[in-house]
Chains A and B, each alone.
Chain A
Amino acid sequence: MVLPVVRRVGRSLLVVLLVTMGVTLLLSLAPGSVAEVVLGPDATPETVGAMETQLGLDQPLWGQYWDWLTAAAQGDLGNSPVTGQSVSTAIVERLPVTLQLAAMALVLALAVAVLLAVASAVRPGSPVDRLINAVSSVFLSVPAFIAGPVLIYFFALQLGWFPVTGWSPASEGIGANLRGAVLPTVAIALTEIAAFHRLLRTDLIGTLGEDFVGAARAKGVSGTYVMFRHALRPSSFSLITLAGINLGRLIGGTVIVETLFTLPGLGQLLASAITSRDVVTVQGIVVFIAVVYVMVNMLVDLSYGLIDPRVRKAAKA
C-alpha cells in the first residue's frame, strides 16, 4: 500500500512542477506585463520598468520561477502584484463559492443521471430509452455558455424565480444563497448529467446481462430492487472515476459559469488573474487545482474498495 502512494505523490509533484513551469512560460510569451496592467495606460516606460524591477520581472525566467517555487515549497504562494492580497487568502476566500457550486452540481448530476440511466437500462432501445438518449445528446452538445443564458432568460428574466446574477453568501441566509446557486448549478450539471448517464447506462446494461442478476430476479424480488440493490453498485466503477475527475475539474473553478453569473469563485479569480498577467495568482491557483486533483483521485481509488470487496482483498494482499 505504501509504495504506490509514494510513487503517486511523486508523480503528482512532477505534474505540479511541469504545469506551473508551463504556465510561467506561456504567460511570459503573451505581450504586456502585470506592471502595465497595474499602472494603467498612462504609465511611462520608466515607471513600468521600475515596477518590473521591483517585482523581479527583469530577472531571467527560470530565476523568477525558482524564486516562486522555493517560496511555494515553504507554503508561501506570494502576494498578487495587482491587488496586493496574499494569493492563499484570495483562494481561501473564493473557495466556498466554487466548492458549493461543484458539490451541488455533482450531487444533482449524479442523482439525475442515476435515475435516467436506470430508466434507460430497464429496456434498452425502448421509446423511453431513446427519448432519454436524445435529451442527453442535446445536453452533451450544449455548452454552459449557451445553457447559462437560456436558463437566465427563462427562469430569471421571464419567470423571475431566481436572481439573474450575483451571489449571496450562505452566512447571509441559506434561502437567498440557495436561490442564487440554483441556475449556475443547473448550468454546470447539464453536461455532467449527460456524460454520467451515457457511461452508467452502458455499464448497467452490461451488468443486467450478468448471471447473478437473472438469479436475483428468479428469487421473486422486484425489478426496482434488482436494479438498485444488485446492478447499480457493480456498474458504478467508471461513473465514480468520471465523477472524481469532474469534481476535480469543477473545484478548479467553473470559469464560464462563474463569469456568466458573476459569481465570486475561483474560476473568476483565475480568469481575472490571466487577463491582468498576474502570474503569481495564476500559479497559486494551478498548484491548488493540482493538489485537489491528486486528493480527489486518491478518494476515487479508495472508493473502489467500498464498491467492490474484491478490490479490498487485493489491496490487503
Chain B
Amino acid sequence: MSDERPPEAVSTQPLLRVRHLRTHIGTPRGTVRAVDGVSLEVERDQALGVVGESGSGKSVMARALMGLLPPRSASSGEVFFQGRDLLSLSRKEQSEVWGKQIAMVFQDPGRPLNPVVRVERQLTEGMRRQLGVGRSEARGRAVGLLREVGVPDPERRLRNYPHELSGGMRQRVVIAIALACEPDLLIADEPTTALDVTVQRQILDLLRRVQRERSMSLILISHDLAVVAGRTDRVAVMYAGRLAETGSTREVFDAPRHRYTRALLAATPALDHKRHTPLRLIPGSLPDPTELPEGCRFAARCAHAAEECLDLDPYLAPVGADHHVACANPAAAPTAPTTLASGGDPLGR
C-alpha cells in the first residue's frame, strides 16, 4: 500500500486519515501488538463505527488516535487530522487538540467524573482553557450543553456533584463535557456498557443526534454490532489489531464479505435481546497478541480457511465502491440485492 495522495485530494482531504497505525505495548509476556497496521478514514460529518470482539484493539487504537498511549508502548504510522500528523505533536500541541478538535468518551470508566468537583467546573474548565471564554459565558454554554444532551433542569444540575446524578445522567454529562469545546471529531469508546438497556439506547441515539446536528464526525466503538448498525454511516470491523472489513454500514451489514464479519453477524443476538450479554460470539478466541500467527489472524477459527490463508497475510482490497475486505477467500457477494429488503436498521435496534 502506498501513501502518496493525488494532488487534488488535499482540498477534499478526509477529516481523519489513519495510515498503517501500529501500537505495540511492551509487557512482561512479550510485545502486545494491540494495533498492528490500521488504515482508515473518517470524513467530515460522518459517523464511523468500529466493531470487534473484546481484545481486538479498539480502545488502544482510539487512545492512540488521541496520542494517549499506554506506558511502555511504541506507535508508528500516521494519524493525519486536518492535515497535521497527530503522532508527531509535542505534549503541548497535543493538549491544544484535545477537547477542541478531538474529544473522547472513554470506555466505561468507573468514575469518568471527579467525585469531589461540581458538574459546573467539570463542564466549563475545558472551554475556559481551550476557547478562552469567561466564567459567566462558560456557565451559559454549560446550561445549553446540558439541555442539548437532554439533562433536565440544567441550572440545578450544574451545582450537583456526580454522585447526585443517576448513571444515565452522568453519562449525558460526560458527553456534554466532550462536546464542550465543539470538537470536530468525537470518539466514543463503548459509551454505554455500564448502563441498562433502555438508557443505552437513549445515549446512543443521543450521540447520533448531536453528531448530525453539529455536523461533527463520530467514531463509535463497540463490541456489539447492533449498537453500530443504525447509527453510523460507515463501519470498520477490527480483528486482532487489524481491520478485516470496512465499508458503508449498510453494505457491510447487508453484504458482508469477510468471513469474520459474517460469523460475527450470525452470532449477534437479534433485536431486543433481554440482557446485554457480551457473548463469546464465535467458537475459539482471539490469537495471543504477543504471538500473532502468520497469514490470516482469523484462520484458526475460520470455517473457510484455505491453504493460502495460512501463509498470505491478506490486506484490505476493494470489493465495491466503498467496501474493502482483507480476506483471501471472501464470501461471495449476494446475487439478490437484499439491501432493498432490509429497511432502515439492519438489526432492528
Contact = CB atoms under 8 A, between A and B. Distances in A.
Interface of A: 210-222, 225, 229-230, 233-234, 307-310, 313
B98 A211 contact: no
Contacts of B177: 215, 219
A226 to B, nearest CB: 10
Interface stretch (B111-119, B200-208, B323-331): B111-119
Interface in B68-93: 68
Nearest to A236: B116
Contacts of B66: 218
A220 B100 contact: yes
Contact of A234 (B95, B98, B115, B129): B115
Q: Interface size class for chain B?
A: 20 to 34
The 10 A-B residue pairs with the shortest CB-CB distance in the complex, in nearest-first order: A211-B109, A219-B126, A220-B98, A220-B99, A309-B161, A212-B114, A219-B99, A220-B95, A215-B112, A221-B129
B68 A214 contact: yes
A210 B115 CA distance: 11
Given A218-B66, A220-B126, A220-B129, A212 B99 contact: no
Interface of B: 66, 68, 95-100, 103-104, 106, 109-117, 121-122, 125-126, 129-130, 161, 163-164, 174, 177, 180-181
Contact of A212 (B112, B121, B163, B181): B112
Interface residue SS majority, chain A: helix
A225 B125 contact: yes
Given A220-B96, A309-B163, A313-B163, A215 B113 contact: yes
Given A215-B106, A219-B129, 19 more contacts: A213-B114, A216-B125, A218-B68, A219-B98, A219-B180, A219-B181, A220-B98, A220-B100, A221-B95, A221-B125, A221-B126, A222-B129, A225-B129, A229-B125, A234-B115, A308-B116, A309-B115, A309-B163, A313-B163
Contacts of A233: 116-117
A310 B68 contact: no
Given A211-B106, A309-B163, A313-B163, A219 B125 contact: yes
A215 B109 contact: yes
A218 B115 contact: no
Contacts of B130: 219-220
A216 B106 CA distance: 11
Contacts of A215: 106, 109, 112-113, 174, 177
Nearest to A210: B111
Given A225-B125, A309-B161, A310-B163, A217 B113 contact: no
Contacts of A216: 114, 122, 125
B163 A222 contact: no
A307 B116 contact: yes
B108 to A, nearest CB: 9
B341 to A, nearest CB: 42
Contact of B110 (A211, A220, A225, A308): A211
A234 B66 CA distance: 26
B115 A220 contact: no
Contact of B115 (A212, A214, A222, A225): A212
10 contacts: A211-B110, A215-B177, A219-B177, A220-B97, A225-B125, A230-B114, A230-B117, A233-B117, A234-B115, A308-B116
B40 to A, nearest CB: 21
Residue from A211, A217, A234 having most chain B Cβ neighbours under 10 A: A211
A222 B92 CA distance: 9
Nearest to B130: A220
A212 B125 CA distance: 14
B171 to A, nearest CB: 12
Residue from B68, B115, B130 having most chain A Cβ neighbours under 10 A: B115
A50 B42 CA distance: 101
Contacts of B113: 212, 215
A234 B114 contact: yes
A234 to B, nearest CB: 5
Contacts of A220: 95-100, 126, 129-130, 181
Given A230-B117, A234-B116, A309-B163, A218 B111 contact: no
Nearest to B110: A211
A217 B125 CA distance: 11
